[in-house]
Each structure stands twice: as structure tokens, then as C-alpha cells.
Amino acid sequence: MILMRSRDPLSEPFEVVQFVAEVGLRIRVMRLARGLTQKELAERAAISRLTLMSIEAGGLSARFADVARLLWALDDVSLQSALADAAQDLTYQDAVRSKLPRFARRKQAPQ
């Protein structure tokens, strides 16, 4: 069994960490909007619940194929749609205000 080391967020550019966090948050919001549990979505996407949890939390070690499977399982294979400007999506805006700033501050590399 090959173990993948999780990536140190401090070794990544802040913009990368922020982008991954936004993708994970967007997937979480779409899952909740569809009334799905993490277990249900993970089963539909043929990934583990732990992988889904990591992606939703902004984990840097997720495979792109897993993200694509999640979007497919959410009936939203368009990454553009998943990452679209959320200016009119109040649920997403609220989630960003409540979660992303705290997450981003915690992950930002020292200057």
C-alpha cells in the first residue's frame, strides 16, 4: 500500500490554498443544497467519505478525478459552474463569510 503524504499548506502559494478551499466549499454547498449527506454523495461519486471530507475541507491532496466525480454525481460536470462567480448565490456568500476567512488566515504562509 502506498501512503500519500498530505501536502503542507504553508508550502503552497496562498492563492492555490484559497482556490482549493473555494472548490471544496462550493462542493459542500451544492451537496447540502441537494439534501445529500456526505455518505450519499461519496457513494454516488464512488469515492470514500474521508476523501469527500478532505475535499470539502480544502485538503490539498485530493485527486482532480475525485473532484470531477463529485461534480458528476452532483449533476454538475461543469467546473466553470462549480467555480462561477457566486455574487448572486447567497448561500455560498454566507458560507464564504463564515468559513473561508478563518480558513484562509490559518493557512496563509508567513510573509
- Counting as low any pLDDT under 70, the low residues of the chain are 1-10, 77-93, 95-111
What pLDDT is stored for residue 86 in this prediction? 52
Whether residue 56 contacts residue 70, with contact meaning beta carbons closer than 8 Å, is answered with no
Alpha-helical segments (H) within the chain: 14-33, 38-45, 49-56, 64-73, 79-83, 90-107
What pLDDT is stored for residue 92 in this prediction? 66
Q: What's at 98, amino acid-wise?
A: S
What pLDDT is stored for residue 105 in this prediction? 46
Collect contacts of 49-55 with beta carbons under 8 A, ≥24 apart: 55/23, 55/24, 55/27
Whether residue 38 contacts residue 49, with contact meaning beta carbons closer than 8 Å, is answered with yes
What pLDDT is stored for residue 75 in this prediction? 84
What pLDDT is stored for residue 82 in this prediction? 55
What pLDDT is stored for residue 102 in this prediction? 54
The answer as to CATH 1.10.260.40 being correct for domain 13-103 is yes
What pLDDT is stored for residue 76 in this prediction? 72
How do the domains of the chain map onto residue ranges? 13-103
CA-atom Rg of the chain in angstroms? 14
The pTM for the full model equals: 0.64
What pLDDT is stored for residue 84 in this prediction? 59
